[in-house]
Amino acid sequence: MKPVERHLADILGTVRPLAPLEVDLERALGTVLAEDVTAPVSLPPFDNSAMDGYAVRAGDVVNVPVSLSVTEDVAAGDGALRAIGSGMVARIMTGAPVPAGADAVVPVEWTDAGRTQVTIHKQVQPGNAIRLIGEDVRAGDVVLREGTRIGAAQLGILAGVGRRRVRVRPQPRVVVLSTGAELAEPGTPLGPGQIWESNSFMLAAAVREAGAEGFRAGAVTDDPNRFLDILDAQLLRADAVITSGGVSMGAYEPVKEALAPLGRVVFEKVAMQPGMPQGFGLVGDDNVPIFTLPGNPVSAFVSFVLFVRPALRQMQGLPATLPETVRATTTAPLHSPPGRRSFLRAILTDGTVAPVHGQGSHQLAALASANALVIVPEDVTVLAEGATVEVIPL
Ligand code: AMP
Ligand code: MG
């Protein structure tokens, strides 16, 4: 059987980062920067008031209370300002430029709020409540590095440095296709021998959680020709395809039957549990990567975490590796088949990890109750309670 690492290495050796493109800011959320972004000007671009109050010369506000004359109002957005002479103040609003001559802002709360004459009853230090030019960013500074995922705050600073368009790697568009004659669409009644189709919902959601765009193509019956037709149609909008089901050793395995003869998708056994039957390769004229995952829901989920998520990261130009692990102590003995790496569903709390009840690869409720996968290495078949284990937090 093929080691987990080698399967991932084959995938990462094939999958290419998507070509960068320039997008409007409105479309940049969730994409990954493909350029360093610098500030064209300093931010703030000018000294401005951090509070509503009075721009003063601090030297005029030493012996308090003191009464000073108000020359004018300065609001946010005002341009041409009169300089502040000795004994004078300007009434100033938050964000407004500090007039020349002033070196401090007295908050309105320290005054009688006068309009023509103001009485200030508290001493002020030079620089008080003034936001200095360049205090956040200096002109020419890099504010975001290439390879940064753009979230809300990153979008904010892009706009904040005046950018309208930005060079990014787009979110990969990933089509999820389930196969199985037994699958009924959730929301419809179950017929004899049927189960509700869950993998396409779960995998499309996992794709979105991984920062890509997931589309459900729905479920296909076990007819390989029908599968190929639908795959063909879906390739138009896909940067990658994930299928579930139809890759095992039985009969009625449409994914394997349809793709194996084309010779560009390799089906093999990977030394893991759950998720032993795996397939990966390229399809269509555009060489779209395809991940053919096993149909058991827990197998499909674990396969996604180990193989698909790193590949999607690589497509976005991000570092791709097996998931990070933490160490914990198991609260119960763990069992694993020889020669295969097990990923047991578990609950991780404060350094201890408890396997959940129901370790079958069909037991989706147990997976949904878990927050971690405990790893039992290939050469280990049993671990005692209290053993230290590697854990993948979910
Ligand atoms: P297969 O890999 O097609 O042999 O399927 C293995 C097991 O997973 C079978 O019990 C299937 O009924 C189940 N299964 C396959 N696809 C799905 C799906 N999309 N949703 C839920 N269960 C599935
Ligand atoms: Mg099937």
End-to-end Cα separation, the chain, in angstroms: 26
What is the Cα–Cα distance from 36 to 56, expressed in whole angstroms?
Answer: 40
Looking at residue 250, its pLDDT comes to 83
Instruction: Report the percent of the chain where pLDDT is more than 70.
Output: 100
Same domain as 162, residue 27: yes
Looking at residue 368, its pLDDT comes to 98
Q: Is the CB of 197 under 6 A from ligand 1?
A: yes
Whether 196 is in a domain gets the answer yes
Same domain as 330, residue 346: yes
Same domain as 298, residue 211: yes
Same domain as 297, residue 206: yes
Looking at residue 179, its pLDDT comes to 96
Whether 321 is in a domain gets the answer no
Q: Which ligand 1 atom is nearest residue 178's CA? A: 19
pTM of the model: 0.92
What is the Cα–Cα distance from 373 to 355, expressed in whole angstroms?
Answer: 9
Mean pLDDT of the chain: 97
Q: Is the CB of 257 under 6 A from ligand 1?
A: no
Q: Is the CB of 48 under 6 A from ligand 1?
A: no
* Ligand 1: centre distance to CA 201 (Å): 13
Which of 112, 131, 150 finishes a domain? 131
Same domain as 303, residue 193: yes
Same domain as 81, residue 10: no
Q: Where in the sequence is the domain holding 236, given as residue range(s)?
A: 4-18+171-316
Q: Are 214 and 176 in contact (CB under 8 A)?
A: yes
Does the pLDDT value for residue 117 go beyond 90? Answer: yes
Domains in the chain, number: 4
Does the pLDDT value for residue 218 go beyond 90? Answer: no
* Ligand 2: centre distance to CA 238 (Å): 23
Please report, for the domain that includes residue 383, its CATH number. 2.40.340.10
Same domain as 358, residue 306: no
Q: What is the pLDDT of residues 2-32, one digit of tens each?
A: 999 999 999 999 999 999 999 999 999 999 9
Sign of CA dihedral 85, 88, 89, 90: negative
Work out the average pLDDT over 44-48: 97
Same domain as 142, residue 32: yes
Which of 77, 103, 131 finishes a domain? 131
Looking at residue 248, its pLDDT comes to 87
Q: In the structure, what pLDDT confidence band is assigned to residue 285 with cuts at 50, 70 and 90? A: very high
Looking at residue 219, its pLDDT comes to 85
Looking at residue 385, its pLDDT comes to 97
Q: Which of 221, 244, 293 to mutate to test the pocket of ligand 1 (most atoms within 8 A of CB)?
A: 244
Q: What is the pLDDT of residues 313-364, one digit of tens each?
A: 999 999 999 999 999 999 999 999 999 999 999 999 999 999 999 999 999 9
Same domain as 101, residue 82: yes
Does the pLDDT value for residue 101 go beyond 90? Answer: yes
Pairing of the two strands 53-56 and 37-38 = unpaired
Q: In the structure, what pLDDT confidence band is assigned to residue 279 with cuts at 50, 70 and 90? A: very high
Q: What is the pLDDT of residues 233-253, one digit of tens each?
A: 999 989 999 999 999 888 889
- The candidate with the shortest Cα–Cα distance to 341, out of 377, 390, 371, is 377
Which ligand number lies closest to the CA of residue 300? 1
